[in-house]
Structure 1
Amino acid sequence: MYRVIQFSTGNVGREALRMIIARPDLELVGVHAASPAKIGRDAAELCGLGEPTGITATDDLDALVALGADCVVFTAQAETRPDEALAQMCAFLRAGTDVVATSFVWLVNPRSADAWLLDPLREACEEGGSSLYVNGIDPGYSGDTLALAALSLAGSADRVVIQEVFDYADYDDGEFTGVQFGFGLPADAEPALMATPGIVASIWGGSVHLLAEAMGITLDSVSDRWETWVTPTPIDCVMTKVEANCVAAVRFAAEGFRDGRAVIVVEHVNRLTPAAAPDWAYPPEGRDGVHRVLVEGHPGIEINSHVGGGEISETFAGVVSTAARVVNAIAAVRAADPGILGVVDLPAGYAGRVMS
């Protein structure tokens, strides 16, 4: 049994917390929360379970580090507060506690991450004899595990396109995802932060480089593109309310170029309700979203991957799967050699014990 700390109780963190509490191979020993309203509340209450665990949330990092847990599930937002999040991760790693995380998306492919992030984390892993693994569903699963599976079916591959095509209308995350993607912004407003040149290539470029390595090719460059679609009529949905002449869909990509051609493309198409961006790609009929891999080669390959459906929405299912991706990695990370790990460093099908 592994002694585990859940770090954060946001959308993904709540789902991870539920999984940890439910699994007999994991013992919850600590919970971190940043909000004063959550401090002192039982872990079960924070994730909607009825039976108390006796573990209450704290914002005392030193106290959590001192628990000497086997692993921390780190789902706190890091990209908007990198210095603080880096210090938190390093504190656990130096103490010998492994970290599995959905944060710092640049580390989905650590081989392409920058030194400002890698160096302190490597030093912390060396000092504590610990390991760090970062993954999720996108970036993560769709751009590595799913794409590598598709490439394994190809005798030759000339081009690979990875797509997330999702309707985000019922995704209750307007304060972060909505703002970052620029949903609701007037057509003539300052673009969203994500539209800043280089941001998309930075976040999803790790997948581009990973696939280039798998294909045995050298890229000339990796760049990004960003497009918006403006609604002519108001759209009101869970994500946010969009007035007429404001952004209701975005399409963006990180693209790896070779000889003037985009040979690896990692693309998002995200809209608010099916009415938005009618000329852009849609998921298959009857679905609100898809993670898709297209391989142009011999033979051509298309894999459409879905989570959710039925009683659980596909956007919320993506949150659950993001949490599951790292919780299910705990045993494999504990068994791995110390250091910063990527998906290619873990056994294929590392899911471990998934409880019904």
Structure 2
Amino acid sequence: MRRVVQFSTGNVGQHSLRAIIGRPDLELVGVHAASPTKVGRDAAELCGLDEPTGIVATDDIDALIALGPDCVVYTAQAETRPMEAIEQLVKFLSAGINVVASSMVWLVTPRLADDWLREPLGQACESGDASLYVNGIDPGYSGDTEVHSALSLVTRATSITVQEIFDYANYDDYEFTGKSMGFGLSPEDEDPIFYVPGVLTSMWGGPVRNLAVQLGVELDDVTQRIERWYTPTRIECKMATVEPGQMAAVRFAVEGVRDGVAVITMEHVTRLTAGAAPEWEYPPDGKTGVHRVVVEGEPRVELNTHVSHPALDVTEAGCVSTAARVVNVIDWVCRAPKGLIAVEDIPQAEVIRGLMW
């Protein structure tokens, strides 16, 4: 049984915490919470379970290290505070504690990550004899596992398009996702952080380049494109209230270009409510969200992944799946050689072990 610490209890963390508590092969030994309103509360309360665990949340990282866990599940929002997140991760890794994470999305393709990320974390893995693995749905599953499955069905591929097409109206994350994507901004407002030149390519360029390497394709360039949609009417939803003339949908992509043609594309089509950007693509069959891979080639292949839950909105169901992408590999990561781990390093049968009991 692996001894596990859950780090954060937000949109993804509450679901990974619940999963850890429920699995017979994992033992929850600690929980980190940054918010004073969560510190001191039982882990069960923080993830909607009724039976107390006896494990209470703390903001003391040293106390969590002293517990001697095998692994930390790190789901804290890190993209807005990368240097602080690196410091936290280095502490765990240097202490010999493995980490699986849905944060620091640049590390979904660790071999292509910039030096400022790869070097301190790689050195911490080396000194602590520990491993770090980062993945999720997008970046993550749709650009690796799903696209690998699609490519295995063709004899020749001419282009690959990876899409997240989602209605974010009920996604309760305006402070990061809403602001970063620019929902509610007017045309004359300053660009949000996602659309500053180079930011999109830093986040999704790694998966594009990684696929190119795996395919043996030499790209001429990796570029980004952005298209905004401004609502003519007021939109009220959980994500935000958007007034007429403000942005309520966005379509952006990072493209790997060869001979002037985009051959590998990672695209997001994100709207607030189904009425936004009606001329853009929608998920099939009336779904509110889908992760899609389209391979043009011999033959053409299209895979659509839709997650759902009887009690949760599709965006929250997606958070459950994001948690699954890291919780399910805890045992393998704990057995893995030290260092930064990529999804292609993990035998796929390992990510489904222990899921039925």
| TM-score exceeds 0.5 | yes
2:180 aligned residue: 180
Partner residue, 1:228: 228
Distance, in Å, in 2 between the alignment partners of 1:309 and 1:32 is 27
Partner in structure 1 of residue 142 of structure 2: 142
Q: How does 1:70-109 map to 2 (within 5 A)?
A: 70-109=70-109
Tell me how far apart the structure 2 counterparts of residues 313 and 306 of structure 1 sit (CA, whole Å). Answer: 12
* Alignment correspondent of 1:352: 353
Q: Measure the CA separation in 1 of the matches of 2:311 and 2:116.
A: 43
Question: Is contact 1:144–1:210 with CA below 8 Å preserved after alignment?
Answer: no
Contact conserved, 1:287 with 1:309, CA < 8 A, in 2? Answer: no
Correspondences of 1:1-356 after superposition (within 5 Å): 1-308=1-308, 310-349=310-349, 350-355=351-356
Specify the SS of the correspondent of 1:11. coil
The whole-number CA distance in structure 2 between the counterparts of 1:119 and 1:191 is: 31
* Alpha-carbon offset, residue 286 of structure 1: 2.1
> Displacement of 1:158 after TM fit?
1.1
Structure 1 position 309, deviation (Å): 5.3
Decide whether the 8 Å contact of 1:102 with 1:136 is kept in 2: yes
In the alignment, is the contact (CA less than 8 A) between 1:172 and 1:238 conserved in 2?
yes
Residues 30, 56 of structure 1: 8 Å contact kept? yes
Q: Distance in 2 between matches of 1:352 and 1:137?
A: 19
- The CA distance in 1 between the partners of 2:276 and 2:188, in whole Å, is 18
* Residues 113-145 of structure 1, C-alpha deviations (whole Å, 9 max, x = no match): 001100011111111111000000111001111
* Counterpart residue identity of residue 272, structure 2: L
| Deviations 1:61-117, CA, capped at 9 Å, x for gaps | 111112111000000111111111101101111111100000110000111100110
Residue 355 of structure 1, CA deviation: 4.5
Inter-partner Cα distance in structure 1 for 2:66 and 2:89:
14
What displacement does 1:28 show?
0.4
Amino acid in the other structure paired with 1:306: H
- CA deviations over 1:135-189 (Å, ceiling 9, x no partner): 0011100111101111111111111000000001111111221111111112221
Conservation of the 8 A alpha-carbon contact between 1:331 and 1:352: no
Q: Could you give the per-residue CA deviations for residues 329-352 of structure 1, whole angstroms, max 9, x where no partner exists? A: 101211211110000000114222
How many aligned positions are there?
356
User: What TM-score do you get using the length of structure 2 for normalisation?
Assistant: 0.98
| SS of corresponding position for 1:312 | coil
Deviations for 1:215-268, whole angstroms, at most 9, x for unmatched residues? 111111111111110000111111110000000001101110111111100000
- Over the matched positions of the two proteins, sequence identity in percent amounts to 61
Q: Give the whole-Å Cα distance in 1 for the aligned partners of 2:50 and 2:72.
A: 23
How far the C-alpha of 1:27 sits from its partner, in A, is 0.4
Separation (CA, whole Å) in 1 of partners of 2:171 and 2:125? 36
Using the alignment, how far apart are the partners of 1:310 and 1:84 within structure 2? Answer: 37
- Cα-to-partner distance string for 1:281-325 (whole Å, 9 max, x where unaligned): 110122001100000111111111111155432111111100111
Tell me if structure 2 keeps the 8 A contact 1:23–1:355. no
Which residue identity does 1:42 align to in structure 2?
Answer: D
List gaps (5 residues or longer) in structure 2. none
In 1, Cα distance between equivalents of 2:279 and 2:189: 23
Does the 8 Å CA contact 1:5/1:29 hold for their aligned counterparts? yes
Q: TM-score, normalised by structure 1?
A: 0.98
CA distance in 2, matches of 1:262, 1:125: 36
Q: Give the counterpart letter for 1:179 in structure 2.
A: K
- For residues 65 and 24 of structure 1, what CA distance do their matches in structure 2 show? 23
Using the alignment, how far apart are the partners of 1:21 and 1:311 within structure 2?
Answer: 19
Query: Could you tell me how far apart the structure 2 residues matched to 1:351 and 1:106 are?
Result: 24
1:48 and 1:314 mapped to 2: Cα distance? 18
